[in-house]
């Protein structure tokens, strides 16, 4: 059994054979929790895939947002990725240090949201690339600015009001990508000041459950399908994903896309927004 939408990921072997392709752009989208992009920039300077440029999700973001990496406007995104030398003609491969979970899948979802479908995630990411002894370089990339046009799509970035209204309306399934302990409230949140628990009615698909724990590559389609099914998620119905801050929510969206689901939306504020607002309802314990 193969993925229905296999275009979303590429193997390290596939990419290694195409490093000399001048039309292909590789971006390092690493992000650390805690730490953000600063330790990721240090990691990039110490060694990255040949020709890669660093995609800073905290910079390619709305500066007026109430959190780091708040989803950018179309104009902001176009200007920032154009400055990275990315045009609509370029196929893009995004990787990170966690096999794609933090934050290559976020970059994948962002490009697709803004109408650029020629984007894939490097399965296994930097860890697998290094483990295989493949080329690493420290030189800063040579970037020629390009022009990028945003193409409107039907994908949606949900807000707090949307999520609150859906508790009663049940228009879509809310799928939370945080760990089971954080979802149930048994484990404290890593960010201070946030309540424990989950949005009422949410289902839990921890992003790590989609990956092989050793290789950090995505599991096969049957295994990913089983994860969604065991969590009570019906892939035939609408989904909005959530997580701690809108990053690993995109990993769950990626997993669903691989199985053929193209209409997944994300809640960008995620638990960073919901958990901080004591006026908003929450549940604890397993999904009801």
Which active-site residues does the annotation give?
Answer: 243
**Residue in the block written with tokens 């609150």:** 164
Q: Which of 99, 67, 288, 126 is nearest to 207 (CA)?
A: 99
Distance CA 143, CA 76 (A): 19
Q: Which of 285, 92, 122 is nearest to 204 (CA)?
A: 285
> Which DSSP helix (H) or strand (E) runs through 174?
strand 173-176
Distance CA 176, CA 244 (A): 9
Give per-residue burial for 211-233: e unless 16+ CB within 10 Å, then b.
beeeebbbbebeebbebbeebeb
> Which tokens in the block code for residue 72?
């950018």
How many whole angstroms from its chain centre is CA 153? 18
Cis amide prior to 103 (ω within 30 degrees): yes
Q: Which of 17, 26, 28, 155 is nearest to 86 (CA)?
A: 26
């Amino acid at each position: 059994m193969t993925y229905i939408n296999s275009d979303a990921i590429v193997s390290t072997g596939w990419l290694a054979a195409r490093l000399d392709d001048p039309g292909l752009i590789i971006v390092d989208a690493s992000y650390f929790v805690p730490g953000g992009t600063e330790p990721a920039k240090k990691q990039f300077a110490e060694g990255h895939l040949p020709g890669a440029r660093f995609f800073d999700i905290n910079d390619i973001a709305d500066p007026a947002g109430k959190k780091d990496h708040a989803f950018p406007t179309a104009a902001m995104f176009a200007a920032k990725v154009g400055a990275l030398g990315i045009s609509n003609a370029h196929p893009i491969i995004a990787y990170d240090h966690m096999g794609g979970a933090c934050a290559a899948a976020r970059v994948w979802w962002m490009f697709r949201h803004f109408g650029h479908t020629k984007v894939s995630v490097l399965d296994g990411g930097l860890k697998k690339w290094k483990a295989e002894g493949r080329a690493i370089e420290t030189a800063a990339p040579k970037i020629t600015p390009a022009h990028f046009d945003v193409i409107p799509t039907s994908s949606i970035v949900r807000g707090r009001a949307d999520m609150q209204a859906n508790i009663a309306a049940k228009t879509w399934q809310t799928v939370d990508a945080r760990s089971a302990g954080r979802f149930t409230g048994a484990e404290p949140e890593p960010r201070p000041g946030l309540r424990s628990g989950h949005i009422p009615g949410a289902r839990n698909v921890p992003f790590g459950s989609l990956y092989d724990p050793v290789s950090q590559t995505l599991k096969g389609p049957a295994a990913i399908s089983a994860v969604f099914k065991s969590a009570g998620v019906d892939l035939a119905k609408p989904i909005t994903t959530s997580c701690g801050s809108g990053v690993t929510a995109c990993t769950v969206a990626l997993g669903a896309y691989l199985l053929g689901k193209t209409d997944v939306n994300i809640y960008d504020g995620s638990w960073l927004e919901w958990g901080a607002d004591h006026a908003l309802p929450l549940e604890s314990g397993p999904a009801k």
